[in-house]
Structure 1
Amino acid sequence: MPTKDEFNNERTLREERSYVEMIGTLADLQTWYDQYRLKTDVIPAEWDRIEAAIPVRPPQKVVSIRLDEDVARWFRAMGLGHQRRMNAVLRAYMLATISRVIESKKNLDWKGDPMRGR
């Protein structure tokens, strides 16, 4: 595995913007998860329906997706908004690959080594 010094740490403007957006998305997911775990009966049931009344999300495309049964069950067990959380997880992964926080196949050469300067 390459060391940190072997990677070109300079990102393009697009990669840097994606990195910043990814960090924000991950922070939002962490905040949601922390609040979800601390949630008690003290919070009224109507609280979960408030965000549905505020249409501030970007337009979405309806797609059909096949998930492993345990993955679908785990997200559904989180309750209302589970599809938005799935989307947020996918967005974080997308931004991580665009910003080169994690390497994708398109960032590797034919031998599987990281490509530099591309």
Structure 2
Amino acid sequence: MPTKESNIVKRTLDLKKSPQLSAEQKARLDAVASMRDKQIDYSDAPALPDAVWMKAATELPHTKKQITLRIDAEVLEFFKHTGKRYQSRMNAVLRSYVEAHKAHAK
């Protein structure tokens, strides 16, 4: 059986253990922090669903509660186009968001 090769690199950010930055990296971050949002060039930034939520797609919770939820049509179509189990991916993205905000609250 052929194996599927992947060029996806998964990384996890631990908000409690920030990576060490060089002086040059700190200077670049300070320069960007002082800019207005409109001045920042985002053209080389990866798309958020692929870059930020990669961990969310791999860690799906086992217990769920059924609810009725209204979602923007564009958001729903985006997730539907990602394939089967799109509702689980939506849940995983929400879970990742909650976990990130819990870490900031501490």
Question: Could you tell me the TM-score, scaled by structure 1's length?
Answer: 0.39
Which structure is higher in RCO with an 8 Å CA cutoff and minimum separation 6?
1
- Structure with bigger helix share is 1
